[in-house]
């Protein structure tokens, strides 16, 4: 919970009564803002028009769609939350989007620190912990300033936004003061920005990529759109009349699995499942990618085949194994908003543009067969990968024990110079751990000799978060 400084705030990084209270409040305020109806669709249409104006000068030339999709998707959320738009030409906007993307990647399941937070002390360079700090330290003052401006705003002639409604609601019901309300609102702001930027736009990007790789499917979807809409602007209620487009979006969501792992759950009581005991407090992770790539259910999970979501009559066939927004009571809070954005933006894009691969780009993404621009097969470079052959540190016994428990799994030696816990003397448990004594200048010489003798060429520092308290009488 780096973003919330260890506190349970907002919705995503919260649990218990506070979580459900905030969740219900968010849903209530979104309904008041009309975000389950025409207001949302009008905002999406407006952002699409802005995107088209930026794209038209580049028609017929290679273009990176990521920025256009990111800006359109996040502006829908940002306008709802703050009442203002982000300028795509502003360096601050680019920085905000970059920081949010890095933070989202840092929280991914590919990062072991997500499950074992203490690993950030062992692998500071690879833990992406710094990305979360940069995101938090950049967005906190921005959101605090916006909250202050909303509180000071006297005229209410402009339509209210989420901040207006949230502050008014909490001020009328919260007796604990405004500081706690602001902390929750800041956490929600970071949640909305990060999720709105990384999920909707990346799913759309994957959809376009898959359609580029399968031009026949793209043509079929465009023919359905032209036949049904006849040039009219799409709206979310058109879904039932565009079953093949729906199937394309469902299949793209399955293949992409943009969120490969759902929001972590936690067992609130001791339970038994299929003979396995799950103690209270155990973190439970839903592996969405594994469900979406299960050959036993899908048959050919690595093929892009929208027809799997259509019946013989051409109607949409729902499948409970498709869960791009998670599952359970903590399913994605913005599911309805995201589905509306995905459908309206995708149909609007296919209605106005035809997408094709740039010359020399990848020709196939289904079976992993790639070609270079000259038609030859790519060759794997001969390179030496960095490996961890040994660890020096840490100083405190608590950290050394945590590190040793991990390293012993891989039989990696560890040498420490100030960890004096008797527990570390157990060679049955810590057979790969050793320490230098005495703890004076000789330990430095000893450490250097060890590094030289083992012929190590790289040494990484183990970072520790400690608080030092001065002794009585010290200044």
Would you list which residues are annotated within the binding site? 332
Burial degree of 44 (CB within 10 A; 0-12, 13-18, 19+): buried
Long-range contacts of the stretch 59-62 (C-beta < 8 A, 24+)? 59/353, 62/358
Distance CA 372, CA 275 (A): 51
Distance CA 86, CA 197 (A): 12
Annotated binding site for heme: 332
Distance CA 43, CA 37 (A): 11
Q: How far, CA to CA in Å, does 76 sit from each of 35, 83, 200, 411?
A: 10, 10, 11, 51
Residue 183: CB atoms within 10 A of its CB come to 17
């Amino acid at each position: 919970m780096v973003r919330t400084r260890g506190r349970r705030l907002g919705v995503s990084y919260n649990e218990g009564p506070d979580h459900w209270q905030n969740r219900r409040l968010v849903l209530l305020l979104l309904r008041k803002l009309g975000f389950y109806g025409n207001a949302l669709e009008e905002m999406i249409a407006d952002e699409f028009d802005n995107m088209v104006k930026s794209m038209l000068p580049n028609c017929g030339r290679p273009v990176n769609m990521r920025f256009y999709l990111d800006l359109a998707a996040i502006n829908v959320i940002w306008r709802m939350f703050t009442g203002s738009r982000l300028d795509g030409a502003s360096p601050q906007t680019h920085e905000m989007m970059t920081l949010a993307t890095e933070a989202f990647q840092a929280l991914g399941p590919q990062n072991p620190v997500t499950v074992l937070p203490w690993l950030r002390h062992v692998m500071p360079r690879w833990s992406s912990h710094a990305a979360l700090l940069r995101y938090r330290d950049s967005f906190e003052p921005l959101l605090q300033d916006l909250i202050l401006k909303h509180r000071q705003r006297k005229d209410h002639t402009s339509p209210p936004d989420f901040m207006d409604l949230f502050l008014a609601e909490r001020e009328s019901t919260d007796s604990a003061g405004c500081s706690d309300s602001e902390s929750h609102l800041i956490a929600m702001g970071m949640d909305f920005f990060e999720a709105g930027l990384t999920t909707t736009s990346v799913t759309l990007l994957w959809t376009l990529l898959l359609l580029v790789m399968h031009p026949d499917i793209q043509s079929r979807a465009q023919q359905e759109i032209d036949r049904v809409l006849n040039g009219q602007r799409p709206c979310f209620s058109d879904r039932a009349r565009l079953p093949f487009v729906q199937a394309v979006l469902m299949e793209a969501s399955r293949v992409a699995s943009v969120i490969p792992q759902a929001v972590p759950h936690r067992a609130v009581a001791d339970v038994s499942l299929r003979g396995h005991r799950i103690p209270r407090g155990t973190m439970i992770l839903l592996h969405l990618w594994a469900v979406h790539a299960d050959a036993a259910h899908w048959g050919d999970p690595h093929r892009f085949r929208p027809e799997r979501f259509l019946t013989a009559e051409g109607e949409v066939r729902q499948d409970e194994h498709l869960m791009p927004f998670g599952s359970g009571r903590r399913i994605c809070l913005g599911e309805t908003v995201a589905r509306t954005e995905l459908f309206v933006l995708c149909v609007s894009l296919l209605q106005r543009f035809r997408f094709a691969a740039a010359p020399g780009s990848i020709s196939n993404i289904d079976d992993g067969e790639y070609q270079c621009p000259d038609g030859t097969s790519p060759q794997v470079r001969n390179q030496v990968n960095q490996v961890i052959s040994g660890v020096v540190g840490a100083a405190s016994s608590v950290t050394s024990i945590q590190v040793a428990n991990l390293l012993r799994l891989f039989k990696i030696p560890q040498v420490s110079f100030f960890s004096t816990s008797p527990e570390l003397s157990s060679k049955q448990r810590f057979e790969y751990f050793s320490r230098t004594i005495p703890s004076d200048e000789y330990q430095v010489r000893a450490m250097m000799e060890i590094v030289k003798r083992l012929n190590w060429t790289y040494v990484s520092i183990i970072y520790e978060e400690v608080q030092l308290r001065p002794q009585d009488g010290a200044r």
